[in-house]
Structure 1
Amino acid sequence: MVRALFHYSRTLLIVLIILFLINHLTRQASIVPSAVQHIIVYLLSPIQTVSALAMNGLGSAFTHYLYLVNLAQENEALRRKNTILENQIIALREIEIRNQRLTQILELKGLVEDPMIQAQVIARGPDHRRHVLRINKGEADGIHLNDPVINHHGAIGVIAALARHSADVHLLTDFNCYIDSMLQRTRVHGGIYGKDAETLVMKYVERESDVSTDDIVITSGLGLVWPKGIPVGKVAVVQATGNRLFQHIEVSPAVDFQAIEEVMVIVRPREEAQPRG
């Protein structure tokens, strides 16, 4: 664009010189013979035409340059506004998702008679302690060891360690964690143990018991730790092979343990909240 303006500037200078000469000759018309005037006009007409086109072209180029500058500024302003709007949409969506989770968690209060304390997940255990979450509420907030921890989907684990303002949650996915549970449909009891992040195992269910895939597993209320009726998961695999006394039952957890952000700690009465022996 700068090179084009330089070219048109040089052309403009030439045009101005020619126009000056034409103006000068016109003023001297009284001393220039008529025939000579016609010859001059005839010779200069193409130059005048070219000069006019050059000036028009220069004006158009400059106008187009200003248009492009303004267009670039408008595009940049629109990009900035678009970025702001996108960030606002993301923030509003996060608020909406959080409110949905909190609403669902509060609905659990209708199922649990014991008081509950809301908490946020602030850390996850390293690889060798991947079955542990840390929350931002602790002993000073009224939480005790072995208190059950849930979210709006179901059972998560129990309080395993306490500090003044934080606590560690032992997840159901650990094979050392245990919940006395039952099938909601047939009321058959069994013990839930952790297997991995995506699978729980329901043990001690006799081979004659009525168990089907997709049966809902809930807490039984036995064991003096968990209240009755909290969702644990859904039966995914049922096998009764060989001469085994008990069926092999795998359960898909009700909770996605990789996506836990808020939890509710159920504060059980102290004479009840003791680990099952």
Structure 2
Amino acid sequence: MTARTLAWTGFIAIAAFVLMAASRLTLLDPVENLTLNITSPVQAVLRDATRPIADWVNNLTDASGLSRENKTLRAENERLTNELARAREDAVQQQNLQDLDSVRRQFPNDTFLAASVVSRDSSNVRSIVAIDRGRSDGVKEGMIVVTEGRSLVGTVTKVLDGNAWVTLITDPKSAVSALVQESRAEGVVAGNYNGSLNMEFVGQGAAVKQGDFVITSGVGGGYPPDVVIGRVSAVQKTEQDLFQSVHVDHLASLTNLDRVLVLMSFEPQRLEKP
């Protein structure tokens, strides 16, 4: 080891000893304070400059969490809303069935012949269908046809050996004596070219409201009484008119009939004036 190396080694050892002693005797506090005084403002500036970025990152993280939470809440709200709507619809349908059972004609002694619809009139002028039952099955002109739910469909107007044509109540030539089940207001349900139903000749003073059942009255002998035709969908009154305008919706879709029942035990009576 050279003299220069020994000198440097000794200097480093002495310097280390002095620094350790100064640290214990707090001789370096002014130096530390000076360093802090110099660096603190710089750190404060850097901290203030970066705070918006940090806040933005934190807000972004919070917003992302809130977005996920809101999405979850919206999905849950939609699910609960749908469940409530289904529950309300079930309640309405149940009430409708109870109401329908209270007004539907009971057929304890009647006999029916099931039939399938095999053809439909393709024009917009007539509302008629053909069924796969005819003269050989005992079907006769004037017999009443109903749905499987016992709502009125129409009447048999032409009979062949193995088939028959049924004129629907929505046909423009159809007219059925009817009454409003709740108020007993009488009128005539007639078909239209657009396939809708109107109850005509209902007096302005008659109590008719939306949702009322319309049933056959049996007047005239062409139809048995108490067969459900439909429900009132709208009522219009004007002072200058003698009668109300009552719109009726059929309980089934007559444009999509697949199966029907022919009422075999009812013989229509065409009453003639004396």
**Cα distance, 1:113–1:188 mapped onto 2, change above 3 Å:** farther
**Cα distance, 1:268–1:226 mapped onto 2, change above 3 Å:** farther
Amino acid at match of 2:123: D
Does residue 180 (structure 1) correspond to residue 183 (structure 2)? The answer is: no
Question: What is the correspondence of 1:203-242 to structure 2 with a 5 Å cutoff?
Answer: 203-242=200-239
2:152 aligned to which of 155, 179, 192: 155
2:119 aligned to which of 110, 113, 123: 123
Amino acid at match of 1:248: S
Q: Hey, what's the Cα distance between the residues in 1 that align with 2:271 and 2:130? A: 20
1:146 maps to 142
Could you list the per-position Cα deviations for residues 109-132 of structure 1 after superposition, in whole angstroms to 9, with x for gaps in the alignment? 943633221111111112255511
**Cα distance, 1:174–1:276 mapped onto 2, change above 3 Å:** farther
**Cα distance, 1:254–1:243 mapped onto 2, change above 3 Å:** same
2:109 maps to 113
Secondary structure in structure 2 of the residue aligned to 1:137: coil
**Cα distance, 1:264–1:276 mapped onto 2, change above 3 Å:** farther
Q: CA deviation at 1:223?
A: 1.9
Q: CA deviation at 1:207?
A: 0.1
| TM-score normalised according to structure 2 size | 0.57
Amino acid at match of 1:118: A
**Cα distance, 1:267–1:205 mapped onto 2, change above 3 Å:** same
Amino acid at match of 1:115: T
Contact 2:144/2:263 (<8 A) preserved: yes
Q: Hey, what's the Cα distance between the residues in 2 that align with 1:112 and 1:148? A: 16
Q: Hey, what's the Cα distance between the residues in 1 that align with 2:109 and 2:176? A: 19
**Cα distance, 1:109–1:177 mapped onto 2, change above 3 Å:** closer
Q: CA deviation at 1:152?
A: 2.8
Q: CA deviation at 1:221?
A: 1.8
Amino acid at match of 2:113: I
Contact 2:124/2:194 (<8 A) preserved: no
Moved over 4 A (4+): none
Q: Hey, what's the Cα distance between the residues in 2 that align with 1:206 and 1:220? A: 16
Amino acid at match of 1:234: R
Q: CA deviation at 1:199?
A: 2.0
Amino acid at match of 1:201: N
Question: What is the correspondence of 1:14-29 to structure 2 with a 5 Å cutoff?
Answer: none
Contact 2:105/2:228 (<8 A) preserved: no
Amino acid at match of 2:135: E
Q: CA deviation at 1:166?
A: 0.4
**Cα distance, 1:119–1:148 mapped onto 2, change above 3 Å:** same
Q: Which moved more, 1:260-269 or 1:186-195?
A: 260-269
Identity, in percent, stands at 25
Secondary structure in structure 1 of the residue aligned to 2:191: strand
Q: Hey, what's the Cα distance between the residues in 2 that align with 1:245 and 1:128? A: 30
Question: Which 5+ residue runs of structure 1 have no aligned equivalent?
Answer: 1-107
Contact 2:125/2:193 (<8 A) preserved: no
Could you list the per-position Cα deviations for residues 48-103 of structure 1 after superposition, in whole angstroms to 9, with x for gaps in the alignment? xxxxxxxxxxxxxxxxxxxxxxxxxxxxxxxxxxxxxxxxxxxxxxxxxxxxxxxx
**Cα distance, 1:220–1:239 mapped onto 2, change above 3 Å:** same
2:191 aligned to which of 172, 191, 194: 194
Does residue 260 (structure 1) correspond to residue 257 (structure 2)? The answer is: yes
Q: Which moved more, 1:195-204 or 1:171-180?
A: 195-204
Q: Hey, what's the Cα distance between the residues in 2 that align with 1:173 and 1:151? A: 14
**Cα distance, 1:158–1:276 mapped onto 2, change above 3 Å:** farther
Q: CA deviation at 1:273?
A: 3.9
* Greater C-alpha Rg: 2
**Cα distance, 1:194–1:170 mapped onto 2, change above 3 Å:** same
Q: Hey, what's the Cα distance between the residues in 2 that align with 1:144 and 1:253? A: 25
Q: Hey, what's the Cα distance between the residues in 1 that align with 2:194 and 2:252? A: 10
Instruction: State the Cα RMSD in Å.
Output: 2.2
Q: Hey, what's the Cα distance between the residues in 2 that align with 1:234 and 1:225? A: 21
